[in-house]
Amino acid sequence: MGIVYLAIACGVIAVLYGLVTTAQVLKAPAGDAKMQDIAAAIAEGARAYLGRQYRTIAIVGVVVAALVAWFLGPISAAGFALGAILSGVTGFIGMNVSVKANVRTAEAARTSLQGGLTMAFRSGAITGMLVAGLGLLAISVMFWGLLTLGHYDLSVGEDRRVIVDTLVALAFGASLISIFARLGGGIFTKAADVGADLVGKVEAGIPEDDPRNPATIADNVGDNVGDCAGMAADLFETYVVTIGVTMASIALLLPNADHLFQLMTLPLLVGGVCVITSIIGTYMVRLGKGSIMGALYKGFWTTVVLSIPAIYFATQYVVGDMNALIGGSTALGDSAFLTPAAAVGATTITFTGMKLFWCMMIGLALTGVLVWITEYYTGTNYRPVKSIAKASETGHGTNVIQGLAVSLESPALPTIVISVAVVACYQLGGIIGIAFGATSMLALAGMVVALDAYGPVTDNAGGIAEMAGLPDDVRHRTDALDAVGNTTKAVTKGYAIGSAALAALVLFGAYTTDLGIYFPDIVVNFSLSNPYVIVGLLLGALLPFSFGAFGMTAVGRAAGSVVEDVRAQFRDNPGIMAGTSRPNYARTVDLVTRAAIKEMIVPSLLPVLAPIAVYYIILAVADQASAFAALGALLLGVIVSGLFVAISMTSGGGAWDNAKKYIEDGNHGGKGSEAHKAAVTGDTVGDPYKDTAGPAVNPMIKITNIVALLLLAALAAG
């Protein structure tokens, strides 16, 4: 149990880091009265939106919790509730830190770029450490509670099942809330952003964040509820699902392993030590002679490098001899999936601690390579962004064509490196190896979220600087910080979806294993030559496309209503444009709030209901074996096409955004040129791509998989 206490201690350290750093942030000067006034309006709008969003989600959450309790029992329901509540709490804290830090970043940027960077990054680091810390605490405390307070015994089959079910239910709670938060927040932020741009920049010809634009507060609220709260909930989900499902898979696949407890706690300890390396990394983020991106990378790479020995010693501490064979007997599921050495029907699986360590190194390497690829596709120094900027010279059409070309091209390298990582991890440790690869990726979540969450803070700081009429050089500093934020945001999304691909494979492994446990008499033919498998793949691959369509339409529709509201305000109150009277910011915020919450419901339920519908429809026209085959194939179909849809949307969107920034830096005619207008169009198109539809695919993939697991459990119970 010592390993679990160590993990809990690391989680507590992360939370303490968050509390101490929050106190530091709050101590910093919060600017003049006008700035505080604006910041208060943003904070008020963000709290109002998030409150309403969580109230709506709570209704769905209570219904689902009741269903979980009915089918899987009260302990699973408690796990679900814990995951759901903590996912919400993470988002809420992230938002609250962000709305305090924005105005302080603007104030700090008055004196220096370093000051603004420090303030914004600290705020991001708070969110990052809370995501990782709370995620780690949720799993480890729950695991500890089940074993000690609940007296469940890992060596007893029924008890093990309770532990597995509770881990899966915890993951489900986190995922369900996070898809709502990602999508609702994503719709809010992009509807406000696109609406504000269309009616402000394009129609009225006033700059971004001009206080005369009634949608400008809504735009800034969006940064907090979408890019900050939504993202935090999403990464919390990714963390909990990955670590939780790794543990659950070990329990399912190696029920009789000698080292079962140790193997299950290893992901917790790895998560724990990497929280510490992430905290150390945050102190390395300092502007030297290099760029802002360079300063952020110093922190990231410090964490990566320190994590290598940390993971090694953690593994050694858990397994003892790194070269001794560990593992045990298994006879469940399709054992060819477990390890390459095991033929179908094999009854033992073994690997060494060293092999698991190498799998985790592959996870770290994959993270590094994905970061680099994303930077290549979205950074202003490379061909893709430059090609979009150049294509802007010949107009809106060629800008969008080139952007779509980059978007379609962007999944190629990530897919190849993910494939290499999957094969390498598999050859080292079978599906358990893949799970550990995913675990080490997610262990870095604290640092990655810190890099990401800093972006919306600087974006807000820029907005406050503009609205409060601070000197131009302050705005220049916040703009410089913000441009880097575009790349770090894309990096996080690429990282989340890459890890999701690995985690989803592990979930699929759990599905096939569970199938063997629950329905030992049904022979499910998962062969590609089973037409129900093909139909399942097709329908699964369809989900991310339909989901993306919902997201894009929602943003378009909500943005349209923003445009109409702002036009009406300009028409009814001519004093606004003259600068003599204040626009009704709250009305626009309220409008976007209602639109976003209304639009998020149906698409969020799509991945929950689709697996259930496909199972019952195929059951009706064929038999249960075919229905299970189609359902399993649906899970893989979602992963396969989800990976492409998500990467192409997030990389493409980031590239469009930075192509605009590249032109604004004075290339191809600079601000106000025809090329710039075309680039603004591309940026607008990329907005819902990268911040609404694309990132929400990540929780969507996992929900589909988790729902399938729960469906199996419910069918077996009922």
Site for a copy of itself in 364-403 (CB under 8 A): 391, 394-398, 400-402
Q: Report which residue type is found at 556.
A: G
User: Quick one: how far is CA 596 from the chain centroid?
Assistant: 19
* Minimum distance, C-beta of residue 360 to a copy of itself, in the bound complex (Å): 18
Cα separation, 347 vs 106, in Å, equals: 62
The single residue among 51, 157, 556, 574 that binds a copy of itself, judged by CB under 8 A, is 556
Decide if residue 233 touches a copy of itself (CB under 8 A). no
- Give me 628's structure tokens: 């299970």
Segment near a copy of itself (CB under 8 A), from 114-122, 334-342, 464-472, 710-718?
A: 334-342
Cα separation, 581 vs 573, in Å, equals: 8
Instruction: Give the binding-site size for a copy of itself (rule: CB under 8 A).
Output: 88
Residue-wise DSSP of 52-66 = HHHHHHHHHHHHHHH
- Give me 311's structure tokens: 């993971």
Q: Which residue's entry shows tokens 């019952």? A: 616
Query: Under rule CB under 8 A, which residues in 627-646 are in contact with a copy of itself?
Result: 632-633, 636-637, 640-641, 643-644
Cα separation, 333 vs 524, in Å, equals: 10
Segment near a copy of itself (CB under 8 A), from 49-57, 357-365, 520-528, 661-669?
A: 520-528
The single residue among 377, 436, 526, 615 that binds a copy of itself, judged by CB under 8 A, is 526
Q: What angle do CA 41, 690, 437 make, to 5 degrees?
A: 115
Q: Which residue's entry shows tokens 């790349």? A: 487
- Give me 136's structure tokens: 């780690």
The single residue among 63, 408, 568, 613 that binds a copy of itself, judged by CB under 8 A, is 408
- Give me 270's structure tokens: 């790895």
* Minimum distance, C-beta of residue 524 to a copy of itself, in the bound complex (Å): 9
Q: Which residue's entry shows tokens 């004093």? A: 575
* Minimum distance, C-beta of residue 197 to a copy of itself, in the bound complex (Å): 8
Decide if residue 559 touches a copy of itself (CB under 8 A). yes
DSSP letter assigned to residue 469: T
- Give me 588's structure tokens: 């626009």
Decide if residue 293 touches a copy of itself (CB under 8 A). no
Cα separation, 642 vs 649, in Å, equals: 10
The single residue among 67, 405, 601, 619 that binds a copy of itself, judged by CB under 8 A, is 405
Decide if residue 605 touches a copy of itself (CB under 8 A). no
Neighbours of 565 (CB within 10 A): 21
Q: Report which residue type is found at 412.
A: A
The single residue among 337, 351, 454, 585 that binds a copy of itself, judged by CB under 8 A, is 337
Nearer to a copy of itself, 172 or 532 (CB): 532
The single residue among 680, 700, 712, 713 that binds a copy of itself, judged by CB under 8 A, is 680
Cα separation, 372 vs 43, in Å, equals: 34
Cα separation, 625 vs 644, in Å, equals: 29
Neighbours of 58 (CB within 10 A): 15
Query: Under rule CB under 8 A, which residues in 424-483 are in contact with a copy of itself?
Result: 426-427, 431, 434
Nearer to a copy of itself, 443 or 635 (CB): 635
Segment near a copy of itself (CB under 8 A), from 39-47, 154-162, 313-321, 553-561?
A: 553-561
Decide if residue 512 touches a copy of itself (CB under 8 A). yes
Query: Under rule CB under 8 A, which residues in 39-58 are in contact with a copy of itself?
Result: none
The single residue among 112, 347, 419, 581 that binds a copy of itself, judged by CB under 8 A, is 419
Segment near a copy of itself (CB under 8 A), from 38-46, 221-229, 315-323, 528-536?
A: 528-536
The single residue among 128, 133, 271, 548 that binds a copy of itself, judged by CB under 8 A, is 548
Query: Under rule CB under 8 A, which residues in 339-368 are in contact with a copy of itself?
Result: 340, 344
State the greatest distance between any 2 C-alpha atoms of the chain, in Å, as a whole number: 80
Cβ atoms of 576 and 569 closer than 8 Å: yes
Nearer to a copy of itself, 17 or 662 (CB): 662
Show the binding pattern over residues 182-221: x = contacts a copy of itself (CB under 8 A), - = does not. Answer: ------------x--xx---x-------------------
Decide if residue 329 touches a copy of itself (CB under 8 A). no
* Minimum distance, C-beta of residue 445 to a copy of itself, in the bound complex (Å): 24
Decide if residue 525 touches a copy of itself (CB under 8 A). yes
Cβ atoms of 181 and 87 closer than 8 Å: yes
Decide if residue 685 touches a copy of itself (CB under 8 A). yes
Decide if residue 553 touches a copy of itself (CB under 8 A). yes
Nearer to a copy of itself, 322 or 522 (CB): 522
Nearest in space to 177 (alpha carbons), one of 80, 93, 98, 246: 80
Cα separation, 607 vs 238, in Å, equals: 16
Cα separation, 497 vs 212, in Å, equals: 39
Segment near a copy of itself (CB under 8 A), from 138-146, 247-255, 276-284, 417-425?
A: 417-425
The single residue among 109, 276, 467, 563 that binds a copy of itself, judged by CB under 8 A, is 563
Nearer to a copy of itself, 110 or 396 (CB): 396
591: CB partners within 8 A, 6+ apart: 218, 561, 562, 565
Q: Report which residue type is found at 74.
A: P
Segment near a copy of itself (CB under 8 A), from 14-22, 251-259, 482-490, 557-565?
A: 557-565
Cβ atoms of 457 and 541 closer than 8 Å: no
Decide if residue 404 touches a copy of itself (CB under 8 A). yes
- Give me 276's structure tokens: 């510490």
